[in-house]
Amino acid sequence: MTKILGHRGARSECPENTMVAFKRAVELGSYGMETDVHLLYDGSLIIYHDNKFSDTKESIYRFDRQGLQARLPQMPCFEEVAEFCAHSGQFLNIEIKDESGFLTDIGEKVVGILEKYNLQNNCIISCFRHHTLMKIKQNHPEFKVGALYWHRNKFDVINYCIKNNIDAVHPYFTDVDKDFVDNCHDNGIAVNVWTVNQHEDIMNMLEIGVDIIITDDVATARSAVDSI
């Protein structure tokens, strides 16, 4: 059955990527949550979507955790979210934001926190930078990884995943159809789509059999799933 993940929590109701949003997603009946992780220069893993502030366009990578939380008091660290998922049983989709421009060990740090809270079998790590996923998969084959991308066009995504031992594809939802989903499933590849908010689109994704729907509107998605 298709699972529902809250995109940055219950984003349609609460400030995104906050503990309030994550807790609300659970209340609304989410299977899990999708969230974004950055590595700061002091070694902190923090939960935030962009790499710049929306108002000043200043890079978040100029700050350590203490300085960033002074600017964004609701911003949790990654360990808080991992601990919350461990206690609540929520599935966790971590999108690694490897955007600082510096060589970092963000993948190893993320894996370390997930192992600390025994989330190896209740998570997936995704990223647009697939080399980050490959490094994680090579060093920690027990973890599932999902390749984020925008448009596949005529690119052979399935053979790409088989060749690189990728467990799932994470495409934008308009880029999938039933044939694609069926072909992925025939090759052991999960299809987790983002970001599906309208009832009609959610119902279409359910009909073609995607594995996970990532949505801002957990309540609408939950209602759609329950109606089947």
Looking at domain 3-227, its CATH architecture is Alpha-Beta Barrel (3.20)
Cα distance between residue 6 and residue 76, in whole Å: 16
Greater confidence (99 vs 204) lies with 204
pLDDT one-digit tens code per residue, 119-136: 999 999 999 999 999 999
Are 5 and 33 contacting, i.e. CB atoms less than 8 angstroms apart?
yes
Cα distance between residue 6 and residue 44, in whole Å: 24
- Every domain of the chain and the residues it spans: 3-227
- The DSSP string of 169-204 is EEEBGGG--HHHHHHHHHTT-EEEEB---SHHHHHH
Cα distance between residue 95 and residue 3, in whole Å: 17
User: In this model, does residue 73 exceed pLDDT 80?
Assistant: yes
